[in-house]
């Protein structure tokens, strides 16, 4: 089969070509002579195109000379055997010129095609990976130099062979390799060849062949892709084979070394933990036995040192495990809750507003939040409040953990994510290592004396927002209760996508407003399991708008709207917030940082939503307001 985009093509022998070309030329000249004798000087001369096209295609360098020869023979026939006149002479000259022109054009096209094919041939020939190609009938049409070295089979002995000849060099018998599977039906590949993977249209498989390389064996990676014709149909396949023996052996050696080191480290951790248990017992006994303040203070210092050793053991155990389990989509709120379960917040207020957010992360994501929160909870930070939120940005998503403590001095930030002896920063190096496994980064952007602010920067492809409208599948999330007035009292939290219909029911008395999970974040207040108040933050291309603050009449006078708006502001405080407020509620929203502004300062999309106000804000009794970003 002739595949023009591959260089190695099966051609007739030179002898057969010359014989065929000579026969066609002689026949067409003879037929043309017969036509001239019969008075047909125009029609049969078209047959002369055939030998010219064949000669110019097969021998592009000689196409011009051959077309000149044929044109000259045609002119000679006309001169010798046709009655000459002016019209016939001009027609003959024109016909000869066309014959020469056709020969030139075909020669040029054939030459360019040959050069293109040679370039493709060189590309395949000098690929570092062993590569071969087959046509649709399974015949070998390419066999490069690297494959000759790998198999010991020269190209000349392999070209044009079919019946799975290519497999003999690898398996010792005839069988379809990946390229053969591509030109076949392919429907039974998953069933018969479960070890074969389909990676974006390329079949990939890795296998160990014990008889290769002088029976020492080789680990090989096979990958094959289809070759398509101009109509997009499979016209063949190309397959590359890469020797991955060194890589596999290195990975195996590293795995064994890692296992031995982990075993040794586990033994050391176990022995040290046993010694620490004895030490803790002696320290407790010392506290009970001695009453001297100096001795008690000394024992306290020993306990602090022992606690530090215990924490280092825990960190080393966690560091051993990271990267050992494949990453997956993790609900951020669940990861935070898992970290929260390991910590004591005492008098520190803690709110997490990451409902509906999932990230593609190592399973040890809870450890990241644990170490960040652990540092914020140190007494030296003097933090009384910790808030976790997220912010969508043009380059991805930022998960933000901030407190109102003393913050971190600028000169300490560069060394913050490395292992240190002092208390602040311990374990953050581990957190940075974990998030980096899936392309995330960890940085600190807070201001000294105003509080610490850690940002986990997630790339665009690494996060998802729970959205029933687009059927994004996310892991089940725990419904947390970030803001609770008291036990059994109203609870404020963000609604999940499947709870949006509940908000729509509440809004039936409020202009029939409805929520859209694709652009809205809705914050609600629950009392005894019933949704009693809502507030919405809608994302526009040019800003965030607050609206839909509503409490049904039967639930008013209980402060529910304050909880809903407070939840929204705290969760969305990383961006400027805009709204149109009813004028008599200006004081209410002022408590949450909203200030009146000129309508011209509103983002355009938000202004357009309120065309019902007819551009007369005073008459409509609504007031444009803005809350600048920040807690």
- Which range (34-43, 161-170, 303-312, 494-503) has the least confidence? 34-43
Are both 414 and 459 inside the same structural domain?
yes
In terms of pLDDT, which residue wins out, 605 or 254?
605
Answer yes or no: do 79 and 177 share one domain. Answer: no
Helices (H), 38-174: 49-58, 63-81, 86-125, 145-151, 155-158, 168-171
Q: Model confidence at 372, in pLDDT bands (50, 70, 90)?
A: very high
Greater model confidence, 354 or 210:
354
pLDDT of residue 11: 47
Question: What is the pLDDT averaged over residues 16-40?
Answer: 82
Under the banding of pLDDT at 50, 70 and 90, the label for residue 167 is: confident
Identify the pLDDT of residue 280: 82
Based on the fold, state whether residues 540 and 563 are members of the same structural domain.
yes
Q: Residue 7: which pLDDT band, with cuts at 50, 70 and 90?
A: very low
Question: Which of these, 95, 233, 222, lies nearest to 170 by C-alpha position?
Answer: 222
Domain boundary among 93, 125, 157: 125
Instruction: Residue 597: give its domain's CATH number.
Output: 3.40.630.30
Q: Is residue 1 part of a domain?
A: no
One domain for residues 344 and 458:
yes
pLDDT value of residue 107: 85
- 411 vs 266, residue with greater confidence: 411
Residue from 420, 428, 463, 460 nearest 444 by CA? 428
Task: Establish if 600 belongs to a structural domain.
Answer: yes
pLDDT given for residue 1 in this prediction:
43
**Residues of the chain above pLDDT 90, percent:** 30
- DSSP, collapsed to helix, strand or coil, labels residue 314 as helix
Q: Is residue 26 part of a domain?
A: yes
The answer to the question of residue 589 being in a domain is yes
pLDDT (tens digit per residue) in 460-486: 999 999 874 444 444 544 444 455 544
Geometric angle at alpha carbon 177, from 171 and 179, rounded to 5°: 150
Say if residue 496 is in the same domain as residue 616.
yes
Report pLDDT for 323: 61
CATH of the domain at 361: 3.30.565.10
Lowest mean pLDDT segment, chosen from 256-260, 475-479, 504-508? 475-479
Lowest mean pLDDT among 56-60, 372-376, 499-503, 554-558: 56-60
- My answer on whether 234 and 265 are in the same domain is no
pLDDT score, position 424: 42
Q: Is residue 540 part of a domain?
A: yes
Percent of the chain topping pLDDT 70: 87
Considering the domain architecture, whether residues 615 and 569 belong to the same structural domain is answered as: yes
Cα 35 to Cα 22: distance, rounded to the nearest angstrom: 20
Gap between the Cα atoms of 546 and 606, Å rounded: 10
Residue after which a domain boundary falls, among 125, 151, 185: 125
Mean pLDDT of the chain: 83
Tokens of 141: 């049409």
Q: Do 623 and 522 belong together in one domain?
A: yes
Is position 69 within any domain? yes
Q: Are residues 337 and 391 in the same domain?
A: yes
Instruction: Give the residue with greater pLDDT, 128 vs 115.
Output: 128
pLDDT higher at 414 or 331: 331
**Same-domain pairing of 564 and 506:** yes
Question: Taking the model in full, what pTM does it have?
Answer: 0.59
Q: What is the mean pLDDT of residues 197-218?
A: 83
Running DSSP on this structure, what letter comes out for residue 446? -
User: Total structural domains in the chain?
Assistant: 5
Question: CATH code at 198?
Answer: 3.30.450.20
373 is written with which tokens? Answer: 């929160």
Q: Per-residue pLDDT averaged across 483-507, rounded? A: 83
Domain boundary among 243, 260, 280: 243
141 contacts 244 by C-beta, under 8 angstroms: no
239 near 222, Cβ under 8 Å? yes
Q: What was the pLDDT predicted at 482?
A: 56
Read off the pLDDT of residues 355-368 as tens digits, 9 standing for 90 and up. Answer: 999 999 999 999 99
339 and 401 assigned to the same domain: yes
pLDDT in tens, 545-561: 999 999 999 999 999 99
Residue 423 confidence (pLDDT): 44
> Which has the higher per-residue pLDDT, 391 or 52?
391
The beta strand positions in 210-281, using DSSP E, are 218-228, 234-243
Domain membership of residue 260 as a residue range: 249-321
Q: What is the pLDDT of residue 321?
A: 66
Sheet holding 396-403, edge to edge: 349-352, 385-393, 396-403, 453-459, 441-444
472 inside domain: no
Residues 214 and 120 occupy one common structural domain = no
- Give the model's confidence band at 614: pLDDT under 50 very low, under 70 low, under 90 confident, else very high: very low
Asked if the structure places residue 478 within a domain, the reply is no
When pLDDT is averaged across residues 491-501 and rounded to a whole number, the result is: 92
């Amino acid at each position: 089969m002739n595949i023009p985009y591959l260089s190695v093509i099966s051609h007739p022998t030179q002898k057969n070509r010359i014989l065929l070309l000579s026969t066609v030329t002689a026949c067409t000249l003879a037929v043309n002579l017969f036509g001239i004798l019969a008075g047909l000087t125009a029609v049969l001369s078209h047959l002369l195109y055939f030998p010219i096209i064949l000669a110019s295609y097969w021998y592009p360098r000689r196409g011009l000379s051959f077309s000149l020869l044929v044109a000259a023979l045609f002119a000679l026939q006309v001169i010798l055997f046709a009655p000459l006149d002016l019209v016939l002479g001009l027609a003959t000259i024109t016909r000869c010129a066309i014959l020469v022109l056709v020969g030139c054009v075909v020669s040029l096209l054939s030459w360019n095609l040959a050069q293109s094919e040679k370039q493709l041939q060189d590309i395949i020939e000098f690929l570092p990976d062993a590569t071969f190609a087959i046509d649709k009938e399974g015949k070998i049409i390419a066999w490069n130099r690297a494959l000759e070295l790998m198999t010991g089979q020269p190209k000349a002995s392999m070209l044009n062979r079919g019946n799975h000849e290519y497999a003999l060099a690898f398996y010792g018998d005839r069988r379809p390799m990946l390229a053969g599977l591509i030109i076949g039906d392919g429907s039974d590949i998953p069933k018969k060849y479960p070890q074969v993977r389909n990676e974006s249209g390329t079949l990939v498989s890795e296998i160990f062949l014990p008889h290769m390389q002088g029976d020492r064996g080789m680990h090989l990676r096979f990958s094959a892709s289809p070759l398509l014709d101009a109509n997009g149909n499979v016209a063949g396949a190309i397959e590359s084979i890469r020797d991955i023996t060194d890589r596999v052996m290195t990975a195996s050696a590293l795995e064994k070394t890692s296992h031995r080191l982990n075993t040794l480290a586990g033994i050391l951790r176990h022995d040290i933990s046993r010694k620490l248990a004895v030490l803790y017992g002696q320290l407790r006994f010392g506290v009970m036995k001695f009453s001297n303040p100096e001795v008690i203070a000394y024992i306290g210092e020993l306990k602090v040192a022992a606690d530090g050793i215990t924490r280092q053991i825990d960190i080393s155990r966690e560091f051993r495990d990271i990267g050992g389990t494949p990453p997956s989509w993790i609900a951020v709120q669940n990861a935070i809750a898992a970290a929260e379960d390991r910590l004591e917040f005492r008098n520190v207020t803690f709110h997490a507003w990451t409902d509906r957010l999932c990230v593609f992360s190592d399973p040890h994501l809870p450890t990241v939040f644990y170490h960040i929160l652990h540092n914020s909870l140190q007494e030296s930070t003097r933090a009384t409040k910790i808030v976790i939120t997220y912010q969508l940005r043009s380059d991805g998503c930022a998960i933000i953990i901030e407190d109102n403590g003393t913050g971190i001095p600028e000169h300490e930030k560069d060394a913050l994510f490395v292992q240190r002896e002092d208390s602040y920063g311990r374990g953050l190096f581990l957190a940075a290592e974990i998030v980096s496994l899936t392309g995330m980064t960890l940085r600190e952007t807070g201001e000294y004396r105003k509080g610490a602010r850690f940002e986990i920067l997630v790339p665009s492809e690494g996060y998802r927002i729970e959205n029933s409208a687009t059927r994004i599948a996310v892991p089940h999330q725990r419904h947390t209760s970030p803001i609770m007035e008291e036990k059994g009292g109203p609870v404020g939290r963000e609604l999940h996508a499947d709870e949006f219909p509940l908000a729509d029911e509440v809004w039936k008395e409020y202009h029939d407003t409805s929520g859209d999970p694709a652009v809205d974040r809705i914050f609600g207040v629950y009392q005894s399991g019933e949704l009693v108040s809502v507030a919405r933050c809608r994302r526009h291309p040019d800003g965030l708008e607050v609206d839909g603050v509503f409490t049904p009449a039967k639930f008013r006078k209980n402060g529910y709207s304050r909880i809903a708006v407070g939840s929204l502001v705290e969760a969305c405080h990383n961006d400027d917030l805009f709204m149109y407020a009813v004028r008599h509620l200006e004081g209410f929203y002022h408590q949450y940082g909203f200030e009146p502004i000129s309508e011209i300062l509103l983002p355009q999309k938000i202004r357009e939503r309120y065309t019902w106000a007819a551009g007369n804000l005073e008459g409509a009794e609504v007031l444009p307001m803005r809350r600048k970003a920040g807690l």
